[in-house]
Amino acid sequence: MSILPNAHDSRSLGPADSSAETIGNRSGRSNGNALSLVHAPDGAAMASEFIPDGVAVRRNGHSRAQESGNRPLQVIKFGGTSVGDAHCIARVMEIVRSTSRDSDLVVVVSAMSGVTNKLVSAALQSEAGNYPAAASILEELRSQHELAAQTLIHSAAELERLRQKTNSVLQEGSDLCRQTSLSRELTLRARDAISSLGERLSAPLLAAALTEHGVPSEAIEATEVLVTDDCFGGAEPLMDLTRERCEARVRPLLQNGIVPVITGFIGATLDGELTTLGRGGSDYSATILGAAFCADEVTIWTDVDGVLTSDPRMVPGACTIPEISYREAAELAHFGAKVLHPKTLRPLMQTHTPLWIRNTFAPEKTGTKVTPEGSLNDGGVKALTAFSDAALIRVGGPAMASVANVLARTFTAIAAAQADVLLILHSSSQNDVRFVVPSALAKATVEALRREFEQELAVEIEDHITLDSTIGIITVVGQNMGEVSAIIGRTFNALQRENVDIIAIAQGSSDCNVSFVVGRNDVKAGLLSTHREFQLGLMEPEEFPTK
């Protein structure tokens, strides 16, 4: 296996340099504005469960490794496109090999790209009673993994061992799909178990390929180490237990020079039932494990150069941001920047572990460093993000004006639907509440609201709970952005230039974002125009606009 041209020298992935002295109090602050507010993305992020008792936050720029005299420990995660085929996996192997020269490594891996979508579709086909369609998806996945294995692994014994593992994982999948298809019921547990198969196939593949190429590795199913609650489809880690399991199961491998390759996206309850952390959740797996091991750094290797000023698929001129704060990155993720799962920053908030976002396909580039405070000198608008797949729900109208506790009852219904609210607008004088949720959760949220207000609505002809599925959100993100009114004014002008109507504006309780609700079809034009307005595509790191 050859070293990739210009492969980034692992020494430049050096120890953490956070100079944070204290753990900031980030509890959500009210902006005093009763009419509009944005849900603070990671207010819960500061929960102390991510920091073990007796573990000091890094001080004076000393990393865990420097403090203990050990080799640094890095958690590195590879996303779906990074392991999309044998060629991509060869690049991943180079990065692992080069980084492992100077650091102990814990590797976290996603399913090969597209695989989880196919598995979800197999689960849905099974629910519809179409087992043959599900089985044919599983066969497709077998071929895909077999092809990659044959390209990467030449030892017959190793290939056979891997084939047996693949067979047993796919057999489990097939049994689950058959049961689902017979009962025509897709339980949350079964959905998680089926959609987890991709990681359970990719981790053994990568570990076997690494081992064959001289990097001793072992695949580990995260069900062995990442303990979660039983919120299937969006489980949360139980950090103390996770830490204990990581020490018992993974630490000995590190001590013996073996690279553990752990499945992202999944965990298990205390009873051993498989859970998933939610779609895109491998990023979260990486930072949970980073916190559990008190890693010196966590790196998310993906298919873009880092965190960019906007999604490059929407804004071709978007630039890489060299350094960004936890808060800004969390806001971007919360408001739709797919490069990070929305919960990614949570586990690091108290350990102050630096997070890097880097490009598997351009490892010579430095990427983006996400640090507790961001770059000392910068302020102003840092990036834009958009959420095209959103829905605006309104609870209001004349009949609601006299109903007591509308706000509290609305929140109760939202909680029942487990909907993640992106932003809320409220007019207390008229009992009018509008809020935006991801489209996928809109129907369940409306149903929960109708149940909650059933009595009041029974006598009404007019519908007081309405759903608008034609909207999107553009969010301007940055810390110390300066005058919010100036930011709003400039964004307003930029949107107006493209004839984009603004349906609502909401300023975040964190003072770190301002969101504009617009028509879904206007999102792209609005993003491009606003990106130009703040000159985000042209800027050098020191030139972030301050207004």
Which residues are near ligand ASP by CB under 6 A? 79-80, 110-111, 116, 198, 264-265, 279-282
Q: How far is CA 391 from CA 387, 447, 451, in A?
A: 10, 14, 19
Does 101 bind ligand ADP (CB under 6 A)? Our answer is no
Nearer to ligand ASP, 265 or 301 (CB): 265
Considering only 81, 211, 242, 510, the residue that binds ligand ADP (CB under 6 A) is: 81
State the minimum distance, in angstroms, from the CB of residue 222 to Mg ion: 16
Which of Mg ion, ligand ADP, ligand ASP, none interacts with 265 (beta carbon under 5 to 8 A by kind)? ligand ASP
Q: Smaller CB distance to ligand ASP: residue 306 or 342?
A: 342
Closer CB to ligand ADP, 224 or 303, in the complex: 303
Identify the residue among 41, 72, 80, 372 touching ligand ADP (CB under 6 A).
80
Between residues 45 and 286, which has the closer beta carbon with respect to ligand ADP?
286
- Measured from the CB atom, the residue of 72 and 336 that comes closer to ligand ADP is 336
Cβ closer to ligand ADP: 180 or 385? 385
Residue 202 vs 479, nearer CB to ligand ASP: 202
Minimum distance from CB of 293 to Mg ion (Å)?
A: 21
CA distances from 263 to 137, 238, 414 (A): 21, 17, 32
Helix (H), strand (E), coil (C) string for 115-172: HHHHHHHHHHHHHCCCHHHHHHHHHHHHHHHHHHHHHHCCCHHHHHHHHHHHHHHHHH
Alpha carbon distance 547, 533 (integer Å): 11
Nearest by Cα to 307 from 286, 287, 323: 323
Q: Cα–Cα distance between 283 and 82 in angstroms, integer? A: 13
Restricting to residues 263-302, name those near Mg ion by CB under 5 A: 280
The CB-side HSE value for 92 (13 A sphere, CA atoms) comes to: 34
Select the residue whose beta carbon is closest to ligand ASP and give its number: 282
Cα–Cα dist 477/219, whole Å: 38
Q: Which residues contact 497 (CB under 8 A, 6 or more apart)?
A: 529
81 binds, among ligand ASP, Mg ion, ligand ADP, none (CB under 5 to 8 A by kind): ligand ADP
Q: Using CB distances below 5 to 8 A depending on partner kind, what does residue 414 bind out of ligand ASP, ligand ADP, Mg ion, none? A: none
Binding mask 296-335 for ligand ADP (x = CB under 6 A): ------xxx--xx-xxxx------------------x---
Minimal distance, residue 168 CB to ligand ADP, in Å: 26
Q: Considering only residues 359-418, where is the footprint of ligand ADP by CB under 6 A?
A: 383
Contact between 24 and 324 (Cβ < 8 Å): no
| Residue 182 buriedness (CB in 10 A; 0-12 / 13-18 / 19+) | exposed
Interacting partner of 452 out of Mg ion, ligand ADP, ligand ASP, none (Cβ under 5 to 8 A depending on kind): none
Report in angstroms how near the CB of residue 281 gets to ligand ASP at its nearest: 5
Q: Please give the angle made by the CA atoms of 495, 499 and 500, to the nearest 5 degrees.
A: 55
Closest residue to ligand ADP: CB criterion? 79
Residue 82 Cβ vs ligand ADP, minimum distance, rounded to whole Å? 6
Closest distance between ligand ADP and the C-beta of residue 310, in Å? 6
Smallest distance, ligand ADP to C-beta of residue 334, A: 12
Two structure tokens written together for 142: 């077998």
Residue 110 C-beta: closest distance to Mg ion, Å:
7
Cβ distance to ligand ADP smaller for residue 181 or 475 = 475
CA pair distance 154, 317, nearest whole angstrom? 42
**Cβ 479 to ligand ADP shortest distance, Å:** 16
Nearest to 266 by CA among 334, 315, 336, 219: 219
Q: Using the minimum distance from each CB to ligand ADP, give the nearer residue, 110 or 180.
A: 110
**Amino acid identity for residue 226 in this structure:** L
Is 337 a binding residue for ligand ADP by CB under 6 A? The answer is: yes
- d(C-alpha 289, C-alpha 348), whole Å: 10
Q: How far lies 174's CA from each of 113, 195, 230, 502, in Å?
A: 20, 12, 23, 49
75 binds ligand ADP (CB under 6 A): no
Amino acid 342 reads P
On the 0-12 / 13-18 / 19+ scale of CB atoms within 10 A, 168 is: exposed
CB atoms within 10 A of CB 377: 8
Determine the 3-state secondary structure of 77 from DSSP: strand
Which chain residues interact with ligand ADP by CB under 6 A?
79-82, 110, 280, 302-304, 307-308, 310-313, 332, 337-339, 383
Which chain residues interact with Mg ion by CB under 5 A?
79, 280
